[in-house]
Amino acid sequence: MAGRPRAATGEGGAGGRALNLTFCVIVQSERLDKFLADQLALSRTQAGRLIADKRVTARGKALRASALLERGMEVTVDLPDEAPPRSYTPFHASLNFVYEDEHLAVLDKPAGLVVHPRPGHWNDTLVNVLVGRGTELSSGGSTEGRPGIVHRLDRDTSGLLLVAKSDLAHRRLAGAIERRAVKRVYAAVVWGHLRKHSVDIEAPIARNPKDRKRMTVAEGGRHAATHAAVVARFAHADLLRISRTSVARLSATASTRSGAVAASRRPRGMRRSASRRSRRGSCCMPPPCRSRIR
């Protein structure tokens, strides 16, 4: 593929000019989002954001992330104007850093702490704590409001979290996660018992159409492969060691933690109908696993 950048008149930017990049595809290529990520040194998520904002076109028409590029096609990317730096209110809380150098940090995020600012949590997040600590953070790529955040953990999930201190470290860490070179291990307490000591589950994961805060098995979702192994058995629950290749959350009905047990109490969402679920033998895993529950 060959690219040729050209300036085009537009709103904002210095002198009212915005930058367009046009790439000419000279060989049969893969999906558009992967092509852009490779050509612009972006993460797949950042490339997807440009496509979702209809900033990537061919022959005057906006393209979809799944579009397959053909030889001779010209793809134009309208790069957004650089937004002014955003300030974050410092917030003070104790954090346990497992590793830290000039490029990145690895910290043990406690349960109850939101990772980045969002409605309802603008000033009491991990980002605000890092700002209050004086930690240098990356710009967060194309995702506004998430400086230094390479990946996330749910508010009620504790565990190890990577933080990038520079844009270069952010790109490389995001690329490693995208290539699945970073292994994530979770512990989950699930209601019921697995029939076998370990199970492998492959199913497409997407947002639950009835509850956008949860994920579910759905046709057309993102491919996910999950390996679960029983670590300990209790009267009505199993403690599982879980590793998976998808970054998606499966369910809020499991009490999870990256690399360690999150809680000894019954997972949230199971209190109302625990006895019924015990008889049925349900668990937090997707439907393909339920045939293995006794």
Going by their DSSP bridges, the two strands 56-58 and 74-78 should be labelled as antiparallel
Q: What is the DSSP letter of 169?
A: H
Angle at 67 between CA 61 and CA 71, to 5 degrees: 85
Cβ–Cβ under 8 Å, residues 269 and 255? no
What is the CB-side half-sphere exposure of residue 55 using CA atoms within 13 A? 21
**Of 108, 154, 211, 238, catalytic:** 154
Active site residue 154: yes
Single-letter code of the amino acid located at 209: P
Output the six-digit token pair for 263: 């809680």
Collapsing DSSP states into helix, strand and coil, what is residue 5?
strand
Side by side, which strands form the sheet with 96-100?
96-100, 104-109, 158-164, 255-258, 185-191, 237-244, 222-233, 198-208, 211-217
Please give the biggest Cα pair distance in the chain: 69
Active site residues: 154
